[in-house]
Amino acid sequence: MSGQQYFKVAICNKYQTLLEECESALAIWNGYRAEISESRLASKEAGDELLRLQAKYARAYTVLQNHAHNCSFCRWVANLEGVLWKMSRTPACQLSALAAASQVR
């Protein structure tokens, strides 16, 4: 799990629940897809089941993304992560200069 998801999980229980549902749906879809591929079963029923599982994953992913967009905690975390990411990409000398400049004011 990425750092971004880990931080959101620590803050938003709903996000964690939706993330787990999404990951479960993906694992089930991938597992069935691998099973069909290995057994070389290409029946209409197998194809229909793959489509159903794919749609279930797509719905779970959409609900997760909608929540992350609409939840004030998740938006706050995303903004904070953006600031931290930018800071991690800024050379230390620039950060020192910025800190010194803010103390002068």
Cβ neighbours of residue 57 under 8 Å, at least 6 residues apart? 22, 25, 26, 28, 29
Q: Hunting for tokens 């997760």 — which residue is that?
A: 64
Query: What are the tokens at 55?
Result: 């749609």
What are the tens digits of pLDDT across the range 42-51?
788 888 999 9
| Angle formed by the axes of helices 72-89 and 44-70, nearest 10° | 80
What are the tens digits of pLDDT across the range 16-69?
899 999 999 999 999 999 998 888 777 888 889 999 999 999 999 999 999 988
- What pTM was estimated for this model as a whole? 0.66
